[in-house]
């Protein structure tokens, strides 16, 4: 695990991922969330840049071979849990 400090929002996402990952009652491979305000907001960018969430896209009905960001993001659980990172 890197030595960088984690803020409370990052810690909350990590704790949530750990609880879901370790639960015997829940089967999950990723966290999915909808960012308040959607694409283009600071929060949406923070999820992508800091926590490495990826946007979920759908085809644009008006343009062939074009995709639209839905405002929904996902991240594999193992990417959020430091003890699951390679080398740990």
User: Quick one: CA torsion of 43, 49, 50, 51, rounded to 10 degrees?
Assistant: 90
Distance CA 30, CA 67 (A): 22
Quickly state the pLDDT bin for 2 (edges 50, 70, 90): very low
Distance CA 3, CA 56 (A): 30
Quickly state the pLDDT bin for 72 (edges 50, 70, 90): very high
Residue 41: other Cβ atoms inside 10 A: 13
Q: Report yes or no on whether pTM surpasses 0.85.
A: no
Percent of the chain with pLDDT over 90: 33
Reported as a single tens digit per residue, the pLDDT across 30-51 is 899 998 899 999 999 999 999 9
């Amino acid at each position: 695990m890197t030595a960088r400090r984690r803020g409370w929002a990052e810690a909350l996402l990590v704790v949530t991922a750990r609880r879901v990952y370790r639960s015997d009652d829940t089967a999950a491979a990723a966290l999915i969330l909808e960012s308040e305000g959607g694409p283009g907001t600071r929060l949406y960018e923070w999820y992508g840049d800091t926590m490495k969430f990826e946007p979920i896209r759908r085809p644009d009905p008006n343009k062939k071979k074009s995709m639209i960001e839905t405002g929904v993001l996902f991240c594999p659980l193992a990417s959020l849990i430091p003890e699951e990172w390679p080398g740990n």
